[in-house]
Structure 1
Amino acid sequence: MLIDSARELKARLTARLAEGFPPVVASDLGGRVWTRPAIGLAPVSPGRVHLAIRVAARADAEILLTGLDDVVRAEVDVRVTGPILAQASPSAGQLQQRTRPLVPGLSVGHPAVSAGTLGGFVRLGGRLAVLSNSHVLAAAGAGAAGDAVLQPGPADGGTPADRVATLAAAVPFTARANRVDAAVATVDEGVGADPGAVPGGPLGTTVPDGYEVEPDEEVEKLGRTTGHTRGRITAVEVDGVAVQYDDGVHVFDDQIEIEGLSGAFSAGGDSGSVIWRSSDRAPLALLFAGSSEGGSTGAGLTFANPLSTVLEALGVEWVSS
């Protein structure tokens, strides 16, 4: 419908709400309290819009639209949002605490390391597993399948009593150029997990191919040390990234480079964080290394493996929620 017509309809429906319409009692909705819809305009083409109605449950919209003819109802864009909550990102301190159920961003680690970040969740042979770096979950190859994974990691007070997962697989480093620093650990029986508990809601279900990732895209991550940060991709397909580990230097090819929009995008302990694209929340990369200098702000650069490469190397499937 034309914008002016949509605004007129919006005003009419808003007035009905202001007058206390409709007179609803809980029993009419099966014991559920009616929630007032949000009403706006949704562009569909130049000069034309649909009336945007956002509701906690579809029944709420039906109550509001009672009495409107079919022609008008065809111009309405109804979307069910569920309850709308104030969004707050967990602080770094909260992410370093013992937390159940498991969620992305938490402190985790092999008993022989300090601590890194639980990046996200995947399926391995039908079982739910946590995804992070090899140097976080597998002590950069020193660990073995069957080893414990602790939450929080040892640096944050984790002990054998905090075991939450079992190391299942890690991609070994090679003397030649590496592609990923990645490992998975299957979630132990009785340990709950909420893969979609990410600031802003669950990430996308589709992981773009590494070659579909473009420079200048804005991205976000949730990490154990610096929490929820935003940045932008400054380079892709980066070869020859030399990373210092406890056992020496390992070189990585085909990496993604990121810098923070305001200050550092990451710091030590954020390794293992999943990085997602801000525009559509598509999961893009697995953070594994960074510098303290460089970038346009001088706050350092972050390096990450394309997530599609990580999933292929481990033979796992991404789980968003």
Structure 2
Amino acid sequence: MSPDNSAERERRRSARDLLKQSHGADSNVNGFALGHRRRGGQRIDEAVVVVYVSRKEPPELVARERLLPASVTVDGIEVPVDVVEAGPFYALGFPGVGADESGPDVLEHTERVRPVRTGASIGHVDISAGTVGCLVRDNADGAQQVLSNNHVLANMNDAQVGDAVVQPGPADGGADPADRVATLTRWVEVVEDGNRVDCAIAAPTDDALVSEEVMDEQMPPVSAEHPAVGLLFAGDCSGRIIGCRMLTVLEELDVALVAGDAAVAEPEEDMVVEKVGRTTEYTSSVIEDDEVVVMVGFGGLTAEFVDCFAVPGFGHAGDSGSVICVGGEGDTRTDNRCE
């Protein structure tokens, strides 16, 4: 796709925010993003504001006040709008939630593995299961830490420092103390509005228990040649995932990648990315939408996340915490499990 200039991008941001103000409370609307128009199932070279809806209806069947506009005027210029069926979105650290788990690529990396590797099942002792992201170092003391989501390692805010983290996650048979591999260090609280990340770290009980390697060597470890761009934390039944930016994760947790500062990159539209997760193992796809504002369900809480990115066909429940890296061919995608 042709890159948009800074003025055009700023207009799209303004249009996105205006649409959020006017239609964000609609129960059929799940999020807003900067992306490109879809036509006949393909993205074309037209920069738009994307609106995610649970169901697209013919305009004649939609009440006037709920009808999404074809464009939004910003500074006298029409900014086009594209409406896409996507969502509702939910946290992907809860296997069996929000999607049918009957596909052939389910429950693959659920075994007990030592040392613990990227892509393996893991979880706070009181959750079901999520995915090991990668290794980071605590800027406070230089200690090695395991990175994943808040809702994977910190039981969605409902945890205490020092809580047990087991591998595999409890849903996959992990139990404390036999399978304890780490203890919770800290997390970024998830609140109702304005979240940028869903992340947490846990200290290995023994550094020999963890490794920078990836399950079954399905992709290279994080490195300057294979940089991390984000952390997978949410998605919908189609396999479209929402990722938070790795640079923001590192900043808010006050940690650094064990692989070094050069091993992180900013996500961009059309970037080919790959991950290895607990449920769908290896997938590779393309970042379609950026600067995503989306509502995510966490059981009892629905929380707004901002400044995220979206990747289609990339993961399902249990893949939360997967580190998203630059790489792959973009065509190794998971199945659509929407009924």
TM norm structure 1: 0.55
Question: Match of 2:146, as an amino acid?
Answer: V
Shift of 1:271: 0.3
Among 157, 160, 171, the residue aligned to 2:173 = 157
| Cα distance in structure 2, aligned partners of 1:115 and 1:225 | 10
1:220 aligns with 2:274: yes
Aligned partner of 1:251 in structure 2 is: 304
Among 267, 271, 288, the residue aligned to 2:316 = 267
Among 113, 136, 139, the residue aligned to 2:127 = 113
1:136 aligns with 2:190: no
Question: Match of 1:162, as an amino acid?
Answer: D
Shift of 1:199: 2.3
Aligned partner of 2:195 in structure 1 is: 178
1:278 aligns with 2:315: no
Corresponding residue SS for 1:108: strand
Corresponding residue SS for 1:141: coil
Aligned partner of 2:83 in structure 1 is: none
Aligned partner of 1:230 in structure 2 is: 284
| Cα distance in structure 2, aligned partners of 1:279 and 1:269 | 21
Aligned partner of 1:97 in structure 2 is: 111
| Cα distance in structure 2, aligned partners of 1:94 and 1:243 | 25
Alignment map for 1:11-22 (pairs within 5 Å): none
Please identify which structure carries the higher helix content. 1
Corresponding residue SS for 1:194: strand
Shift of 1:164: 0.2
Contact 1:116 1:270 in 2 (8 A): yes
Contact 1:117 1:132 in 2 (8 A): yes
- 1:232-255 per-residue CA deviation (whole Å, 9 max, x = no partner) reads 10111112x100112210110000
Question: Match of 1:249, as an amino acid?
Answer: T
| Cα distance in structure 2, aligned partners of 1:127 and 1:165 | 12
Corresponding residue SS for 1:109: strand
Shift of 1:169: 0.4
Corresponding residue SS for 1:140: coil
Q: After TM superposition, what 4+ stretches of structure 1 lie above 4 angstroms from structure 2?
A: 91-94, 206-211
Tell me which structure has the larger Cα radius of gyration: 1
Shift of 1:93: 4.8
Please identify which structure carries the higher strand content. 2
- 1:195-238 per-residue CA deviation (whole Å, 9 max, x = no partner) reads 03342422223556579421111111100000011111011111
| Cα distance in structure 1, aligned partners of 2:107 and 2:134 | 19
Shift of 1:191: 4.3
Question: Match of 1:245, as an amino acid?
Answer: F
TM norm structure 2: 0.52
Aligned partner of 2:162 in structure 1 is: 146
> What are structure 1's unaligned runs of at least 5 residues?
1-90, 281-295, 302-321
Among 187, 199, 209, the residue aligned to 2:204 = 187
> What are structure 2's unaligned runs of at least 5 residues?
1-104, 230-246, 249-264
Contact 2:219 2:275 in 1 (8 A): no
Shift of 1:128: 1.2
Contact 2:167 2:174 in 1 (8 A): yes
| Cα distance in structure 2, aligned partners of 1:201 and 1:297 | 20
Corresponding residue SS for 1:95: coil
Shift of 1:92: 6.0
Aligned partner of 2:137 in structure 1 is: 123
Shift of 1:300: 7.7
Aligned partner of 2:50 in structure 1 is: none
| Cα distance in structure 1, aligned partners of 2:131 and 2:107 | 13
Q: Percent identity among equivalent residues?
A: 41
Contact 1:164 1:191 in 2 (8 A): no
Distance 1:300 1:177, change over 3 A: farther
Contact 1:243 1:251 in 2 (8 A): yes
Shift of 1:298: 8.9
| Cα distance in structure 2, aligned partners of 1:204 and 1:117 | 19
Question: Match of 2:145, as an amino acid?
Answer: A
Shift of 1:174: 2.1
